[in-house]
Amino acid sequence: MTGIAASLWMAGMAWGQEPDCPEVERRRDWVDAAATALVEADLERTRTTLAQLDAALTCGAVVDPEVLGRTWLVQGALDYFEGDASGARRAFHAAARVAPGSWYEDFGSQLRDVYEAASPPPDDAPLGILSLDPRPINHVAAVDGRTHTDFPMQLEPGLHVVQVGPSSDNVFFGRQVLVVEGEQVVATGLREAGTVPAPSLPTLGQADPARDPWLRIHTGLGVALSVGRGDGPAATPTLLSVPLETGLTFRSPAGPWARMAVVAAPLLTGDVTYTDRTGEAVTPTQLGVHASVGLRSPQGDMGVLFGRSWPLGWSARAVVAGRLPVEVPLGLEGRLGLDLLQGGSPSPSVEFLVVVVPDLTLR
């Protein structure tokens, strides 16, 4: 049955919400206490302790396979006493898989027979496929107490534990998952919880709604080349500059966007001569403003730009931009068009900018 969704037991809490994270030895004490409570027929205390163990999957070190196996032993016994025979077989099978040989003798022979009857699936049984969304970047992901790097991954059907964190000693997400035939996608929900140090970033040209507020600060630094043309009085110089710009970008969820920015562009080709009301003058820097509008598409942000620079004239550009697939909030923007310089011929121009998209946004 391809495409069956994962059955999830309990969603984890972020580590920042669970300051008292138990160490491995304390978790061993908890699972032994849950087993003792079960033998004493204190089912409520057993359930409470199992819930504590489940919440502990979301903090501290990756779960110890022995502790996990014993937790599933207690869960299987609890399911059996509560009349859930299939749940008992599922938990006992998971316990035998991750911690073979573990058993509580106080559970008695009747439960032992149920445990031994929880046979694994045949060797040719279809495997399940486990994926994580978002896929961890520069973080560890562990399945059943052992770290893995390749996702999606094939797993034997049954109960499994998935954990994610910056290191094997510091996880911030944990969840029990029932893997069945077909692909199981575990949505960690970490972005919504605000606990993703390394989110799954979009590639160049892909929009990320979580980082696309309706009003965003825009800052860019790059290089611009305007190719001189013509001879005589109508000739225009070749200009190479380093534009630094800042402004605001307005983005609509439907796709349109608009930007207003101010620019300062020191000239690398030396001072430029121009004529104003007082006569001939020179300047080493262009100052300007520009406005651009466009649409978002799968290939990136695309649009047109119109600007006015002082002292040289007007400009028109086609614009293509997108986010970089890196952890820092950077993007690239390319522009191609014409400069309409005062008293001269239109000059072909090209610009490349690195754009900073800070997390500090106006919403």
Question: Do 257 and 346 sit in the same domain of this protein?
Answer: yes
Question: Do 146 and 17 sit in the same domain of this protein?
Answer: yes
Question: Do 173 and 220 sit in the same domain of this protein?
Answer: no
The tens digit of pLDDT for each residue in 235-282 reads: 667 889 999 999 988 877 667 889 999 999 998 987 777 777 777 778
- Tell me what percent of the residues of the chain surpass a pLDDT of 90: 38
Q: Is residue 201 part of a domain?
A: no
Q: Is residue 203 part of a domain?
A: no
Domain with 138 in it: 7-193
Question: Do 146 and 235 sit in the same domain of this protein?
Answer: no
For every residue of 164-182, DSSP letters joined together read EESBTTB--EEEEEEE-SE
For tokens 């094997």, name the residue.
Answer: 168
Question: Do 172 and 251 sit in the same domain of this protein?
Answer: no
Q: Is residue 202 part of a domain?
A: no
Question: Do 186 and 220 sit in the same domain of this protein?
Answer: no
Q: Is residue 361 part of a domain?
A: no
Sign of the dihedral defined by the CA atoms of residues 246, 251, 256, 258, in that order: negative
Question: Do 14 and 159 sit in the same domain of this protein?
Answer: yes
Whether 202 has a pLDDT exceeding 70, the answer reads no
Q: Is residue 133 part of a domain?
A: yes
pTM summary value: 0.49
Whether 167 has a pLDDT exceeding 90, the answer reads no
Quote the crossing angle between the two packed helices 65-81 and 108-117, to the nearest 10°: 110
E-strand ranges in the chain read 7-8, 128-133, 140-143, 146-148, 153-155, 158-165, 173-179, 182-187, 215-226, 239-241, 244-251, 256-266, 272-276, 279-283, 285-297, 300-310, 313-323, 330-341, 347-356
Q: Is residue 177 part of a domain?
A: yes
Question: Do 48 and 138 sit in the same domain of this protein?
Answer: yes
The tens digit of pLDDT for each residue in 121-160 reads: 666 667 888 888 777 777 888 999 998 877 788 888 889 9
Average pLDDT of span 184-199: 50
88-102, 137-151, 301-315: the lowest-pLDDT one: 137-151
Residue 80: pLDDT band with limits 50, 70, 90: very high
What is the domain-level CATH number for residue 316?
A: 2.40.160
Whether 222 has a pLDDT exceeding 50, the answer reads yes
